Structures are given as C-alpha cells and as structure tokens.
Amino acid sequence: MNWGWVTVVASLLLSLLGIYAIDMGLNENLDPTLGQLSTTAIKQFIFMIMGILACLVIMLPHYKLVSAFAWLYFVICIALLVFLLVPGIPSSIVTPRNGARSWINLGVTDFQPSEITKIAFVLGVAQYLRFRTQHRKLRGLVVPGIIAMIPVGLITVQPDLGTASLFVPALFAMLIAAGARLRHLTLIVLCAAMSAPIAYPFMRPHQKARIEAIVKQFQGDESTNFDINFQSSRAQMLIAAGQVTGTPEPTARALVRYNALPERENDMIFAVVVARFGLLGGMAMLGLYALWVIGALIVAASCREPMGRLIAVGLPAFIATQVIINVGMNIGILPIIGITLPFLSAGGSSLITCWIMTGLLMNVAFHRPKPPYRSSFEYADDDDQPHPLKPSRPYGKQVGFSGRAFTR
C-alpha cells in the first residue's frame, strides 16, 4: 500500500471541511444553498484547486531534482522575509494585519512568505544533514541551529511568534531522524526552558498579557474573559455548545453568528467545526490529521535514502505542531499566538503550502529507492562496503569482475 495516497485523501477531506466551516463562520444566511456561499469560502475553493494543481506539479520531478535547488529556495524565502521588514515600504505593498508585517499584496490576493519558508527550510536542512554526521556531537548542532534561527528571527520581528515557534520542533524531528543524540537535544531544551524568564521582559506587552490571561484562567479568574481573553472564552463557549454529537446546521450557524468569535474563519475555525459536529466531529477531524502525519511517517520509514526520509519527517513535524498549538489555543490551554489550522483556515498561502507538502510526500513515496538498500545515515568505515549513497572515493580498494580485490 502506498501511504502517500492516504495523505492525499486526508488533505482533500480536510480542505472541503475547511470550506464548509469558513462558510458557516461568515455566511449571514442561516440556510444557504450551494450558490449562496460566502465570498471567502469561494476564494478558499479556488485556492484548493490551485493547491491540488501545485501538488500534481511537485509530484512529477524526482524529489532529488527538487532538493538540488534547496538552498536557492531558502535564500529566496529569506530575502522575502527581509523585504517585509524593510522600512519605508508602503502599506499598499506590505500589508500589516493586527500589527504584523507578514503579507505581500499581490493585487488579487495577499502572499505570506513565512508559509512557503516552511518547505524551503525542510529542504535546506535535509540537504545539509543528508551526508553529514557532525550533528551527532553537541557542537555539530550549531550549524543546523543557525539555519533555523535565521527564519525564526525574521518571522519573530514581524512579529509572528506563532509561525516562528513551528520551526524548532521541525528541526528537532529532522535531527532525531538524522541520528542526533537525544541527550544533546534534551540539554538544549532544558537550557531554553531555564532562559525563558530572561526572555520574558523582552516580549511585547500584548504577548505578556496573553500569557498572564492563561495563568489567570487556570486560577479561576474570569476577569479577562471580556478583555485579552475574549477570543479564547468565546471559542470555548462554541465548543461547549457543540456537546458530543453537534447541533443541526441552522442552529450551529446561528450559534456561530451570534457568538461574535473573532477570527472564526482563521485561527479559531476549530471551534466552528466542533460547534457543528460536536466532540465526535472534532475527534474525527483530528483523526484525519493523524492519518496525514502517520502516512507521512510511514513513507519516511519506508524510504531508505536520507534526503527523502528527512523530507518525509520534517513536513509532518510542521503539520503536527501546528495542529497541537491551534487546538490548544481554541480550548484555552495555550495562549493565542496566531497559528492557523492546516488545510482548514482561510488563506491561500497556508492552503497551497499544505498541498505542496502533500505533493512532496507523494513524490518521496513514488520515487523512494527500492530495497536492497542500506539504512539511511549508516556509513561503512571500510572501502569493501561503501555506502550506496556516499560519493565513492577516487582511490582505494576496488573489486574486479572476477571478485578479486585490487588497488590502484
């Protein structure tokens, strides 16, 4: 069974569910027909078609050919992130939203470079790690860390702390797949956790307020429910209204309409889905994400070539982290930091990027080397058994057609 097809089916079902939930969140009609979809839902459908086409295109060339230009993609994405921060650029070109300079106005739509940077980052890190072993030592983690900190720093300055927080988990997943020592990564996490109080004073006021609101919520203080915690409290009310099995469509649309949940078509779309389909529907939706991630990891496990395996590990790491944080935001256990729900939230940059990820996974699934093949990241120490992917040495012991070894 080709598990790449599982990711395609999950992607399609999630995308269609997203269009339905977007229309439910924005359509003023409580019982609309197919021809009465909201403008945003129609745009999302068009973006889905564009994403599927991008998925088909990215499936055609061998993933090694795609990854051969990994550093070029990465440099272009970094240049776009720098462009967003250049002072003096008019708002007609760089469109600020909620105080963040994260979008480039293309006329018919807006483009968010940080979304496509996720793919460029995975390809770049995979290209760096594929034939190296330095990352198995603590000092060898410096270069991968620098590669990650470049986009993280630029995206944080926008500021878009939510998207920036996704890169480190993806890097760690790829490092583990490449053979990095868990004790080294654990040490880095502990050091980062201990330094968090030092970073807190440098956070922006609204970021501090969101963290403090979560703490107050856990303490039973509801004073922020109509202030900084308004969005989270409204999302929890919608989720509670869905109960176990959900509510009829007109009732759900009325609930969403009169709840006045901000960003219900974007970051908080999970609450809209649960209001309509209940706890069971929310779990089914999370099950589709689990199928996508599991399918990707099975593709990674079946790929015996380093580049393909790293790609198939890095991409689901982004999706899984994004889903966990977004759902945590909606149910009130994590601060709201502006993370969309993959495939569901409104926005062409996010949806098309997710479909390109699916296309890359299908590419790896179709073009992965067939056994016999030595396991990835295992290098022979002698010349008698060279690694099939490691560049051969120009001199050394060779084996002739007779089976006898000779040295030139």
pLDDT tens string, the chain, 408 residues long: the values are 678 899 999 999 999 999 999 999 888 777 776 667 888 999 999 999 999 999 999 999 999 899 889 999 999 999 999 999 998 888 888 888 877 889 999 888 889 999 999 999 999 999 999 887 788 888 889 999 999 999 999 999 988 888 999 999 999 999 999 888 989 999 999 988 888 778 777 777 777 777 777 777 777 777 666 777 788 888 999 999 989 998 998 888 888 888 888 888 999 999 999 999 999 999 999 999 999 999 999 999 988 889 999 999 999 999 999 999 999 999 988 888 889 999 999 999 999 999 999 999 999 998 877 654 444 454 433 334 444 444 444 334 433 333 344 343
Amino acid at 144: P
For residue 355, the number of C-alpha atoms closer than 13 Å in the C-beta half-sphere is 25
Which pLDDT belongs to residue 22?
Answer: 94
Full domain range(s) for residue 190: 4-370
Q: Please state the three-class secondary structure of the chain as a single string.
A: CCCHHHHHHHHHHHHHHHHHHHHHHHCCCCCCCHHHCCHHHHHHHHHHHHHHHHHHHHHCCCHHHHHCCHHHHHHHHHHHHHHHHCCCCCCCCEEEECCEEEEEECCCCEECHHHHHHHHHHHHHHHHHCCCCHHHCHHHHHHHHHHHHHHHHHHHHCCCHHHHCCHHHHHHHHHHHCCCCHHHHHHHHHHHHHHHHHHHHHCCHHHHHHHHHHHHHHCCCCCCCCCCCHHHHHHHHHHHHHCCCCCCHHHHHHHHHHHCCCCCCCCCHHHHHHHHHHHHHHHHHHHHHHHHHHHHHHHHHHCCCHHHHHHHHHHHHHHHHHHHHHHHHHHCCCCCCCCCCCCCCCCHHHHHHHHHHHHHHHHHHHHCCCCCCCCCCCCCCCCCCCCCCCCCCCCCEEECCCCCEEEC
Which pLDDT belongs to residue 218?
Answer: 75
C-beta separation of 39 from 47 below 8 A: no
Tell me if 395 is assigned to some domain: no
Total domains in the chain come to 1
CB atoms within 10 A of CB 213: 24
Compute and round to an integer the Cα radius of gyration of the chain.
23
CA distances from 25 to 167, 289, 345 (A): 30, 21, 11
Tell me if 378 is assigned to some domain: no
Tell me if 391 is assigned to some domain: no
Tell me if 399 is assigned to some domain: no
Which pLDDT belongs to residue 371?
Answer: 54
In Å, the largest CA–CA distance within the chain is 84
Dist CA 336 CA 322 (whole Å):
12
Tell me if 32 is assigned to some domain: yes
Structure-block tokens of residue 272: 């809209």
> Under 8 Å CB-to-CB from 223, ≥6 apart: which residues?
216
Tell me if 396 is assigned to some domain: no
Tell me if 397 is assigned to some domain: no
Which pLDDT belongs to residue 370?
Answer: 62
CB atoms within 10 A of CB 258: 8
Tell me if 380 is assigned to some domain: no
